[in-house]
Structure 1
Amino acid sequence: MRSLLVIYNPATAKERKAATASKTHLPETVMRSCGYAVTTADTEESARKLVAEADAAILHLPIPEIGAWSAKLLQWKTIPLLWWCSETTATLSVEACEDRIMTDGVISSSMQPAEIHWSLHFGAKMCFERQQWQLERQQLLSKIEERKWIDIAKGILCEIKNISEAEAYDILRKQAMNERKRMVDVAASIVNVYNLLQEQKLGRTKR
């Protein structure tokens, strides 16, 4: 991890201007002194362009703004996100101390280079674990959704053909094999056709 992107907002940009003379506590100054290449962005447009080359993003923002920025950045690229805790961001975040935020770590100017390196290292690990968790969650939700379609289709077959669930499952499985489709696709087709027929039947009844 060598390249970092620091995100500012109008409030922290003022802090940046005020600190321009000394530059002591600016995130980019601190991180460059630790050997990292740093770019900065204070608009969505500039961040979108610069994040492509970044290995991690440092959010110099109040906590209430982290969620929206995190969502944007992760749409463009999956990278570790770390919060820069400064006097300004801490003060602006007092009422948000109970908020749930999506970051992979915290960095401040009071940290020594070794502490910063380790924070970034663990942030990268947290980011990877978050990716894995999200992937596993998506896979689980997908399986639940597939199971729902299959169960509904089995119920329809049981009702129409007056058969058991096991027999209905066998019909779905065999039809999927014959058509070279996934069982969930066959099940969805059965459910959709059944619902369409029910709607047509209901329409004729109303007439």
Structure 2
Amino acid sequence: MRCLLLIHEQGSAAAGQEQTSIESTAVAEESLNECGYQVYTACSAADVPRCIHDIDAAVVHLPMARLNTWHRTLNEWKSMPLLWWCSPYAATASAAACEDDVPIDGIMTPTMSPAELHWALHIGAKQFFDRQQWDTERRQLRAQLEERKWIDMAKGILCDINRISEAEAYDLLRRRAMNERKRIVDVATSIVKAHQQLKA
């Protein structure tokens, strides 16, 4: 991990906190540069650099309430680890959002040493990849459950119409899928939809 995108927003803090926000962002950029990372900064989606595909992770110095918006914006370009720079400004501005579900993979603070910042990024990247794996597995399980639903409905229809057992109905589906060179779920879906149209 070498290139980071530091995201902050100018002009969005309350009047008294604006200077604190700017100073905290400067500390974040300096700390990450000192650790050997190439740091690009962005205040808005228009500021996201053209080299977004070379960036390894995003560090956001924002109140928690704005993290979901930035997460969606970044995902339009590239999915990447998202770490929160928890400065006194960001923490104070996030007090009301502590129960929100935000997609962060790690937290970094201004008091961390270079080694701690490195490890926070490393662990955040691992958390991100684990989260991606869980999302993929969850999507696959949902798809399998959806397929199972269509197959079970088709078996029920075949059992009723042909007065056969579930095992025989499944064998019938399987044979038809082989003959038509289709997946069983596709055959099951067509049976269920045809049956629904006949009943309508």
TM-score normalised by structure 2 residue count: 0.90
Change (3 A) 1:102 1:36: same
Q: Does 1:39 align with 2:40?
A: yes
Runs of 4 or more, structure 1, over 6 Å off, are none
Q: CA deviation at 1:184?
A: 0.5
Q: CA deviation at 1:58?
A: 0.4
Task: Name the structure 1 match of 2:52.
Answer: 51
**How far apart, CA to CA, are the structure 1 residues paired with 2:19 and 2:133?**
36
Which digits, 9 at most, give the CA deviation of each residue in 1:65-115, with x for residues without a partner?
Answer: 112221332342121110011121111101112222211100111110000
- The range that moved more, 40-49 or 101-110, is 40-49
RMSD: 2.0
Query: Aligned to 1:99, what secondary structure does the other structure show?
Result: coil
Structure-2 residue corresponding to 1:177 = 178
Q: 1:24 to 1:105 in 2, by over 3 A?
A: closer
Aligned to 2:2: 2
Q: Which runs of 5+ in 1 are unaligned?
A: 200-207
1:8–1:41 contact (8 Å) kept in structure 2: yes
Which amino acid is the alignment partner of residue 119 of structure 2? W
- Give aligned-pair identity as a percent: 50
| Alignment CA distance shift 1:133-1:48 (3 Å) | farther
What is the CA distance between 1:46 and its match in structure 2? 2.7
Partner of 1:144: helix, strand, or coil?
helix
Q: Compared with structure 1, are the counterparts of its residues 18 and 8 closer, same or farther at alpha carbon in structure 2 (3 Å cutoff)?
A: closer
Q: Is the CA contact (8 Å cut-off) linking 2:3 and 2:54 kept in structure 1?
A: yes
**1:43: how far off?**
1.2
| Mapped pair 1:134 → 2:141 | no
What does the per-residue CA deviation read over 1:41-80, in whole Å, with 9 as the maximum and x for residues that have no partner?
1112333745322100001110111122213323421211
Distance 2:130 2:25 in 1: 33
1:124 aligns with 2:125: yes
| Number of residue-to-residue matches in the alignment | 196
Q: Would the alpha carbon gap of residues 160 and 109 (structure 1) be closer, same or farther in structure 2, given more than 3 Å must change? A: same
